[in-house]
Homo-oligomer: A and B are copies of this chain.
Amino acid sequence: MKATINDVAKQAGVSIKTVSRVINNEVSVRQLTREKVQKAVEELNYQPNLAARNLAGAKSFSVAYIYDNPNAYYIIDMQEGILSACKQQGFELLIHPCDAKNKNITEEVVNMVKHARIAGLILTPPLSEMPEFVKSLVALDVKVVRIMSGDVAPDDLSPCVMVNDRDAAQTITQHLIDLGHKDIGFIAGDAKHMSTVERYKGYRRALKESNIDFNKELVIEGEYSFDSGVSGAKQLMSAENNKHRPTAIFSCNDEIAAGALFAARLMNISIPEQLSIVGFENSPFSRQTWPKLTTADQPNNQIAEDAANLLISQVRKQKNQTTISQYVPKLIIRDSTAIVSNR
């Protein structure tokens, strides 16, 4: 029923080793031989047995996606992106949710890598942004690719796929400025996430370039959650804070923005007439709020696929891929932003 390498070898009239060479894309195979083998492979619909390859070879054909992130949309996007790269390259994907706060996380992950003979890992924030964790992994010779926030990699521990949140945040803030807003609140995500820091920098830069005075009181520390958006917006829009009441709020992600929307509703502030709100991420529910959120779109699927390909080619040692891809999320204007109202 299922063809083995032996069947292919017989069909092609070569040794199994030669077949092995062809399917592994090794160099020293004559063109003619290679074609014969490829023909046999197709005729028999042969697919190499991953377990056997993993067992026999020094290499492995599985990668793992390690995450600690409550955002289901993000994870699914990542996962499916990685999966599609894996499928193309004949790799398996293991999924491993874990807890960044766990002290033994390095041990846990290393254990898993050794146990399951994993070729490499894909890390997303916040795990990708824990230098000690990454360092330990790299020191133990675990191949890693990180997806991180920033324009350039912070170190050369591993190849990185960078998401330029700073430029995107600048663009989105500029959008608010273009609408006439000068008092723009900022509700931060988790301070430990680079994305928060980067988005903050972009926000500051936009203000600066438009010569708008930065007002510290308009910045609220928060975390990436709906509740944080609720309390942040309340704080920004509260009566005591009246003199500094912003006309727009930059929320570090869509969830925070949804929370801000909720708070505005509680306080009878109409959006976008009295207050403009922007989110970040373009997660599906940014289209399901009232009003729909202006936000920045991250091509997570593609980012993930890119990262997976980077990892796989690194594992294959095809080239010493120090290449770094960079993505800049782009502005999506919907209904939560409008021209500033007269006051």
Does A1 sit at the interface, judged by CB under 8 A? Answer: yes
- Interface flags for A249-263 (1: CB within 8 Å of B; 0: not) read 000000100110110
A141 to chain B, nearest CB (A): 11
A1-52 interface with B by 8 A CB criterion: 1-2, 47, 49-52
Whether the Cβ atoms of B116 and A92 lie closer than 8 Å is yes
A239 interfacial contact with B, CB 8 Å: no
Are A97 and B72 closer than 8 Å at their CB atoms? Answer: no
* Interface residue? A79 (CB, 8 A): yes
Asked whether A79 and B95 contact (CB < 8 A) given A226-B288, A259-B288, the answer is yes
Bound CA–CA A105/B138 (angstroms)? 40
State A1–B309 Cα separation when bound (angstroms): 29
Tell me how many residues of A have a C-beta within 8 Å of chain B. Answer: 38
Residues of B within 8 A of A288 (CB): 226, 255, 258-259, 262, 285
Number of copies: 2
Given A2-B115, A261-B290, 13 more pairs with CB closer than 8 A:
A50-B51, A50-B116, A51-B51, A51-B52, A52-B55, A80-B97, A92-B116, A93-B94, A226-B288, A265-B290, A285-B285, A285-B288, A289-B289
B290 and A115 contact, CB distance less than 8 A: no
Residues of B within 8 A of A49 (CB): 55, 115, 117
- Give the CA-CA distance A226 to B265 in the complex, in Å: 20
Cα separation A52 to B55 with both chains bound (whole Å): 6
Q: Does A234 contact B (CB under 8 A)?
A: no
Using Cβ atoms and an 8 Å threshold, which residues of chain B touch A94?
Answer: 92-93
A-B contact pairs, 14 of them (CB 8 A): A2-B114, A47-B115, A49-B55, A51-B54, A52-B55, A55-B55, A72-B72, A72-B73, A75-B76, A76-B76, A83-B95, A226-B288, A262-B290, A285-B288
CA distance in complex: A285, B255 (Å): 9
